[in-house]
Amino acid sequence: MRKTIDDLLAMCDSRYVLVDAISRKARKIADEAEIRGLSLTDKPVNIVLNSLFDGNAEIKNKGEDEMEIVFADGFNIFDKAVIEK
């Protein structure tokens, strides 16, 4: 069964915390792609959301009102077909 935004919200204290975690991870992906000279075929936010929905990433608690998105062991977003070289 595919996850929904409601499933993701159940893992966080608030919508704000979820949006903050997703946007920080998306920014890291965009920055890394730029450093590597790669062009993303999808928006970084969509890459993060799809990774969460597909089970390739999860939301971890970093402390009070702070979460982070962590990719599964062995999953490298830059090895996937989301990149145009």
Q: What is the pLDDT of residue 82?
A: 56
pTM for this predicted structure: 0.82
Residue among 21, 6, 11, 28 at smallest CA distance from 67: 21
Residue among 19, 36, 18 at smallest CA distance from 76: 36
Domain boundaries, the chain: 5-72
Question: Is there a contact between 11 and 59 (Cβ–Cβ < 8 Å)?
Answer: yes
Question: Is there a contact between 26 and 73 (Cβ–Cβ < 8 Å)?
Answer: no
Q: Which two tokens stand for residue 18?
A: 């979820």
Question: Is there a contact between 68 and 21 (Cβ–Cβ < 8 Å)?
Answer: yes
Average confidence score pLDDT of the chain: 84
Question: Is there a contact between 29 and 77 (Cβ–Cβ < 8 Å)?
Answer: yes
Confidence of residue 23 (pLDDT cuts 50, 70, 90): very high
